[in-house]
Amino acid sequence: MAEIRIDNLLKKFGEFVAVEDVNITVEDGEFVFLLGPSGCGKTTTLRMLAGLEMPTDGRISIGSRNVTFLRPRYRNVGMVFQDYGLYRHMTVFGNIAYPLKVRGMPKADIEAKVTDVAKTMQITEVLQRKPDQLSGGQLQRVAIARMLVRDADVFLMDEPMSHLDAQLRGHMRAELRHLQKEIGVTTLFVTHDQLEAMTMADRIIVMKDGQMLQFATPREIFERPATEFVATFVGEPQMNVFDCRIRRSDSGYFASCDGFDVPLDTAWVDTSGGAALLDRTLRLGVRPEHISVSETQDAKHPIKAKLFAFEPTGAENLYVMDCGGVQLTTRTSTNETAHFDKTEGTDYAIGFDPGWLYLFDSNTGKTLAFGSQSDTGNTEA
């Protein structure tokens, strides 16, 4: 087990900058996720850690060792690839045993170690089969077993669950989280699936266009996003975001959006910048679960809306509302809105929870203000 430290990491392919100025420290035993859309640089970062790509600049340390330009075999890292990378001509036993054979480990020791890891991954009954005879879940377990058998300092996983169906992914999320904590090996996991990251990670690195936007716990990422991109990338359905201008009237501050106005808490605006925010073009964000729906307009539901689409999901209902030509999504429990009319065009009223509003800079995308209830700590990357 070992700490991972990355300093000023840069990777260029010709003139294209794939990864730029990444600085992170992953604590010993920590489970950290690299999260972002395709092409954001997360897999390139992982490959540089593994030694499969050499950085253009920067430093990578595993434990006390500088491994920046070491070949993969000298880094003592285990890796699971997106396509599992199993040898089709070998049995499951042979695939798991291969890293140990390369090291010259005695045959009896190899057999004992493979048997032990196979028990952990619950694949003892398929040790004599070949990869083509296995299901997707079994293939994943074999790939993880081959990683575990190495007794590596660090484990690296590149979207290992992307080929599994939704039900199996849900099952494997819990298993992998439990396994990582039981073994206690420092692990980096690449994914584009925010649900995987939010449910499994100790901390998450959110990346976009080769840059690290935020490195924080799942709760901090969700409640105190550093940028509008982070806010909208994490959360399902994603955060509603609108262009707005902050105005002031006799009754207090409000955000003037296209088609509707949102009352704001005066103390929140004052502590977030006050007069400096007035009349600037900003972006107002609110998550679907922080918009309440009513059949009648009142002080808590001042915004008129029409039902554009109704999406039942079981325990929850999603209401896509039209507010003066602007669409937004709300999320409510089935019990809260069971009696509501689900006909498109039905008149409703909605209200935003003032404690869960966000303001983003429309030019830089950086978060300018959090709602008073999203107070979980620092968001600096």
Residues 87 and 221 in one domain: yes
- Whether 378 is in a domain gets the answer no
Confidence (pLDDT) at 374: 66
- Structural domains counted in the chain: 2
The C-alpha atoms of residue 28 and residue 305 are separated, in whole angstroms, by: 51
Confidence (pLDDT) at 40: 95
Model confidence pLDDT, tens digit, residues 351-360: 999 999 999 9
- Whether 246 is in a domain gets the answer yes
Within its chain, how far is the Cα of 304 from the centroid?
34
Confidence (pLDDT) at 27: 96
Least confident range of 94-103, 184-193, 281-290: 94-103
Residues 125 and 20 in one domain: yes
Instruction: Single out the residue in 169, 204, 226 at which a domain terminates.
Output: 226
CA distances for 275 relative to 253, 266, 317, angstroms? 10, 11, 38
DSSP 98: H
pLDDT band at 375 (very low <50, low <70, confident <90, very high): low
Residues 17 and 152 in one domain: yes
> Which is more confidently placed, 200 or 276?
200
β-strand pairing of 203-208 with 211-216: antiparallel
SS3 for 293? strand
Within its chain, how far is the Cα of 25 from the centroid?
18
> Which residue(s) pair with 35 in the sheet?
191, 206
Q: What counts of helices (H) and strands (E) characterise the chain?
A: 9, 21
CATH code for the domain in which residue 276 is found: 2.40.50.100
Tell me the pLDDT of the chain averaged across its residues.
91
CATH code for the domain in which residue 168 is found: 3.40.50.300
- Whether 377 is in a domain gets the answer no
In the predicted model, is pLDDT for residue 170 greater than 90?
A: no
- Whether 197 is in a domain gets the answer yes
Confidence (pLDDT) at 120: 84
Residues 75 and 136 in one domain: yes
- Whether 379 is in a domain gets the answer no
- Whether 291 is in a domain gets the answer yes
pLDDT band at 333 (very low <50, low <70, confident <90, very high): confident
Instruction: Single out the residue in 175, 204, 226 at which a domain terminates.
Output: 226
Residues 179 and 295 in one domain: no
pLDDT band at 94 (very low <50, low <70, confident <90, very high): very high
> Which residue(s) pair with 291 in the sheet?
352
SS3 for 260? strand
Residues 100 and 165 in one domain: yes
- Yes or no: say if 20 and 71 are a contact pair by the CB < 8 Å rule: no
Confidence (pLDDT) at 269: 86
Instruction: Single out the residue in 177, 193, 226 at which a domain terminates.
Output: 226
Model confidence pLDDT, tens digit, residues 10-25: 999 999 999 999 999 9
Confidence (pLDDT) at 151: 82
* Residue 247: its H or E element: strand 240-249
Confidence (pLDDT) at 339: 85
Q: Note down the domain range covering 273.
A: 233-370
- Average pLDDT estimate for 25-34: 97
Residues 209 and 355 in one domain: no
Residues 130 and 238 in one domain: no
Confidence (pLDDT) at 376: 45
Residues 218 and 238 in one domain: no
Residues 219 and 258 in one domain: no
- Whether 47 is in a domain gets the answer yes
The C-alpha atoms of residue 264 and residue 267 are separated, in whole angstroms, by: 9
Residues 264 and 135 in one domain: no
Confidence (pLDDT) at 335: 82
In the predicted model, is pLDDT for residue 37 greater than 50?
A: yes
- Average pLDDT estimate for 31-39: 96
The closest of 283, 291, 201 to 241, measured between CA atoms, is 283
Would you give the end-to-end CA distance of the chain in angstroms? 25
| Other CB atoms within 10 A of residue 333 CB | 11
- Average pLDDT estimate for 330-334: 90
Long-range CB pairs of 371-377, under 8 A, 24+ apart, other chains included: 371/268, 372/265, 372/267, 372/268, 374/223, 374/224, 375/224, 376/217, 376/219, 376/220, 376/223, 376/224, 377/216, 377/220, 377/224
Confidence (pLDDT) at 202: 97
- Average pLDDT estimate for 107-120: 91
Place of tokens 């999406």: 311
Residues 176 and 74 in one domain: yes
In the predicted model, is pLDDT for residue 377 greater than 80?
A: no
pTM listed for this prediction:
0.89
The C-alpha atoms of residue 98 and residue 118 are separated, in whole angstroms, by: 14
In the predicted model, is pLDDT for residue 149 greater than 90?
A: no
- Whether 37 is in a domain gets the answer yes
